[in-house]
Amino acid sequence: MEIFLRLIVIFVKAVALIISPLLEAFVYPRKSKSTLIPPIRNRLLTLSIQELRSRLRSRQLTSVELVSAYIERIEVVNKHLNAVVESRYSAALEEATETDDLIASCASTADVEKLFEERPLLGLPVTIKESCALEGMTFAVGSLTRKSIKAQADGEAVKRLKSAGAIPLLISATPEYCFSIETDTLLNGRCLNPYDFERTPGGSSGGEGSLNGAGASLFGIGSDIGGSIRIPSLYCGIFGHKPSGGVVSVKGHFPNSKDPNIEHYLVEGPMTRFAGDLSELLQIMAGKENSAKLRLSEPVQLNQIKVQYALGFDGINGWMHQSVDKDIRGAICRATTHLKTIGLEVNKAKLPNLENSMEMALSGIADQDLMDYLLEDEGSGKVRETLWEIVKSVRGHSKYTTNGLIFELTRRSGAFMSRSKMNLYLEETRGLIREFANLLGDNGVLLFPTLNLPAPRHKWSFLSLWGIDYTLMFNVLGLPVTHVPMGLNKRGLPVGLSVIGAPNQDRLCLRVAVELERAFGGWKPPVPNDLDN
């Protein structure tokens, strides 16, 4: 363990123990205002990809009707959430019209079936995280210094979704360079959580989390290098899947790295309210070759999956971290009880040694010195200049966000570790990959907290930031992780858990997610639906 890092963690834990109860009891005794987000009225917004495709294929529904329904919902909620950076509604409606004409031109039912076999997302709307590159649309990624930059081509995963027939509606908000777990930028302002406007939707896929949680996206594409899919999924009550390292191409993503191993850490994946849609979306995003490697089209026998669980880190490492919220621990316990009841083998995990989880996690990120830096264009390669820019940012005199600069400082300083220590932790990580692979095998999953707390208040996310190894650890290990929503706590905030598999065993995580959705209901709307008949 690194003493300096651990002193920071202990200090943050002490602050949290003092401040959090005061905030909840006196400053924010309840949701100061009930979430103002309007309820869902259009039944189309409650249907999954499979259900909508069935209606499109049978010509009971048109793509124009569906796309229009989502555009209407987005316009209603975005004035509350500030989750949309740039829209393309007119172009989307034109593409929907072309789709309807294409379907109408099919001479027979067999022709329609063949069309949807070739393009399984035909006519379905999708929302795109800004960092994932949609040709001709903003590619600023929350940065003032990139505000005029447009994507010159589709990112690889976006290209695959479009080739499958999906219709992009918009670009959603991210933190600056994706370098924060709070989506709040100088360029676009603050994105809000649909369950409580005083709380963050998370980051860096915060716009996607916010829109999906509000029922304003059928599905979205996010990216994840340290929890950027899973944290917004937790905070906004949706499903999000971080694929195994190297499965989904991040070509076209910003920021990126010249390191050939970057796709082990940085991944793109699907975010949605419907667990049953995740596997198909992952197949499309991964492409045929990688989908075959993941065996996503093969059925998974639920009763053959062996489940292990842990309620957090053990021993002194667990003591140093903030305690995992009781409702998150309760969600894991409810999930394990259910899975055991239906016949799965469930055991408390004897995890490999995670005493240095924070050091290993931060070493993996700090080692990415070929990834884009905020200050790189200005020739600033030293810790001192970054520190000075942080001071300017705190005083409101920088064109960079404080959170982005803190992430930058962590990288430039080697996570406050010597190079030799970093190398030792990286070597320890490589051994840990083998240990987790042996622990889980080809039929095991681990239930684990996605993060220690539900969505925090704006500007208080730094308390959760020092538990980032809950998510970042599994990027460094390259393991697949599915976040599963498990209902709302007494304050109406989403809680949930992570289902983790061995490398390339994504299908096991996805299968367990489907079962937990069936048993516990999955996504719960911020306000009860008020559906038109």
**Which residues belong to the active site?**
129, 204, 228
Q: Phi, psi at residue 457, to the nearest 5°?
A: -65, 150
- Distance CA(147)–CA(477), nearest Å, equals 34
User: Does residue 448 sit in helix, strand or coil?
Assistant: strand
- Distance CA(45)–CA(49), nearest Å, equals 10
Spatial contact of 447 and 332, defined as CB atoms under 8 Å apart: yes
- Joined together, the tokens standing for residue 496 give 């949930």
User: Does residue 430 sit in helix, strand or coil?
Assistant: helix
Q: Are strands 306-309 and 345-348 parallel, antiparallel or unpaired?
A: parallel
- Distance CA(169)–CA(133), nearest Å, equals 13
Amino acid residing at 140: A
Secondary element (H or E) of residue 190: strand 189-190
Distance of CA 17 to the CA centre of its chain: 27
Spatial contact of 269 and 241, defined as CB atoms under 8 Å apart: yes
- Distance CA(206)–CA(355), nearest Å, equals 30
Q: Phi, psi at residue 161, to the nearest 5°?
A: -65, -40
- Joined together, the tokens standing for residue 321 give 């971290």
- Distance CA(27)–CA(83), nearest Å, equals 26
Spatial contact of 128 and 24, defined as CB atoms under 8 Å apart: no
Q: What is the DSSP string of 272-338?
A: ES-GGGHHHHHHHHHHHHHHHHHTTTS---GGG-EEEE-SS--HHHHHHSPPPPHHHHHHHHHHHHH
- Distance CA(40)–CA(490), nearest Å, equals 22
Q: What is the DSSP string of 456-509?
A: PBTT-THHHHTTTHHHHHHHHHT--EEEEEEEE-TTS-EEEEEEEESTT-HHHH
